[in-house]
Amino acid sequence: MIFARKVWHVLVAVKDGLALLFLLLFFAVLFAALSSRPNPGAVRAGALLLKLDGAVVEEPQIFDPISRLMSSQAPTNEYRARDVVMALRSAAKDDRIKVVVLDLARFTGGGQVHMQEIGQALDLLRAAKKPVLAYATLYVDDALLLAAHSSEVWVDPMGGAFVAGPGGKHLYYGKLLERLKVDAHVFRVGTFKSAVEPYIRNDMSPEAREASGALYGSLFDAWKADVARARPKANIAMATADPAGWLKASGGDPAQAALAAGLVDKIGDPVTFGNRVAELAGKDPHSKLPGAFAHTGLRTWLAANQPKHPGKPIGVITIAGEIVDGKAGPGVAGGERIAQLLDEAQDQDLAALVVRVDSPGGSVYASEQIRGAINRIKAKNIPVVVSMANLAASGGYWVSTPASRIFAEPSTITGSIGVFAVIPSFERALGEWGVSTDGVRTTPLSGQPDVVGGLSPEISAILQANVENTYGKFLRLVGQARGKATQEVDAMAQGRVWDGGTARQKGLVDQFGGLDEALAYAAGAAKLAEGDWHPLFIGADADPYASLLERLMGDDDGEASGSAHDLAGLIALRQNATISQALAGAERLLGRTGAQAICLECPAAPVRPAAASENLGWLARIKSLMAQI
């Protein structure tokens, strides 16, 4: 008995000791994380280092703390486009910044409009006689567009530069579904509404090919024009006409090929590049590492350059990512969440409202929730202006209809005014295994839609009528907003996607310009002079959990793991994106979604982690799909 009591005391002591140890470790880590937050006083004279180790987006996602802590990898970084632009603009006016360094070694891309906005900010630095130096192992389209606005473009000897151009292939499941004897019941309106084609075809329809060809051609022309203006000596034709021959002419060395085409200026390793920066910015007195230079990181610089807030607020609500039902986001546009933010913002005494849209669309119901909330603000005689970023298509255009003025860029993708719904049924597949259905109905709609026994003619007719009714409402909303007859809107709708320039010609867009121009117009509509207003970004408060994880898993320079570093890494990333695309298509077919207004032709978003509400790896997604089947 005495022995057992002693053992018990030992076990209790061990338990208490471990509990105390874990508690001390927790508070030590918490203190270290909080004490390492960006310090405005830590700005050092020298270089502004933009280590874009991830994607540039309109609205970063919030990371789920628990799942991210359990993950074996740090979260992929996301950088808000307007933060990068603001940092560059302020650096152009600050004497402490001698040079700006773009570290694009792990850059995963961003929308073309965002790249052009950042490029314009880089031009301000060069106009202020401040050099901009870019470095990467591998440059592809988005990184090349940024690098073109640099004074010196460096590439690693083991790397290179390639121009892929917009476009690519979509996955089509028609033959697979037929082989599995799964029926995809499609209800749509719009000749060009190709988002349903993967479920009913094995290839792209002529109409979709026509629309996509025109869209991608316009985007690529805009990309080439931007690069040519910023970097006249770049020979894009050499790099795109015969890529294999171009590479062969340089002995198979991608870095030398990039140099020959004028896509880069110098070839050197990171140490050589760092020494070059140190010549301009000074050496880092706190580091003995080779190639170290004096610099300030992005987060520290932003903390030291917080914008002032004079005058009345002009609200800015961001609708970024796919529009979905519920409270999802940020980074995904949950209709309920955004509507709630807008309703709560009515207490902010807004002078005007700017709706910033960067979305390919999604749920019609969620889009209508957002539109209704915007209209409730508009009903208070508050001017409403829309600023389109990279995408404002389908549902993204639906939520834009309350605006008195719509701003877009020539490279904005918009339109896609069409509606569809897809419901699968498995009666043929189950019949192969001897499974059938039977029962008693009290009305033609009893038990419908029946994804096991098949859809009845009555429910099919009702679903098609509902889609046609929604499309009619879409046409009326656009017609009322743009001052056009329904028939006129229908002629340019039909689900077709337009670039910003064509959309302006057709009257879907009023004026070229970005968020700054939209804010200035909104201020004028509210009769406010310059200096009498400031932008209030609704719902953009920083998330403390995300900040904590950034401190724990990264550093002030934005280091993170899991990004493409060379050509092989880029291919691996795109393979993963293809798997995700396939699973996303299957999820859209099998998911519990209502009528959709979403754009398939819109280019894929930059590689980014799954939304917090959808934090599943691709194996977990397959398991989830199997469970639904």
Active site residue ranges: 193, 394
Nearest by Cα to 91 from 124, 135, 52, 58 = 124
Chain length of the chain = 629
Q: Give alpha helix (H) positions in 36-129.
A: 65-70, 81-92, 112-127
Residues sharing a CB contact under 8 Å with residue 604, sequence separation 6 or more, in sequence order: 577, 581
Identify the residue whose tokens are 């894929």.
Answer: 604
Neighbours of 434 (CB within 10 A): 6
Quick check: helix, strand or coil at residue 473? helix
Chain-centre distance for alpha carbon 608: 8
Task: Provide the terminal-to-terminal Cα distance of the chain, rounded to the nearest Å.
Answer: 58
Which residue blocks in 201-316 are alpha helix, DSSP H? Answer: 206-230, 236-241, 243-249, 254-260, 270-281, 298-304
Strands 266-267 and 46-51 turn out to be unpaired
Sign of CA dihedral 57, 60, 66, 69: positive
Q: 103: which strand partners?
A: 51, 135
Measured distance CA(324)–CA(327) in Å, rounded: 8
- Separation between Cα atoms, residue 426 and residue 273, nearest integer Å: 60
Structure tokens at 82: 């307007």
Contact 583, 153 (CB under 8 A): no
592 exposure class (CB count in 10 Å sphere: 0-12, 13-18, 19+): exposed
Distances (CA, A) of 614 to 34, 344, 618: 28, 26, 11
CA atoms within 13 A on the CB side of 321: 23
DSSP assignment string, 406-458 = EEE-TT-EEE---EEEEEEE-HHHHHTTT-------SSTTTT-S-TTT---HH
Contact 515, 356 (CB under 8 A): yes
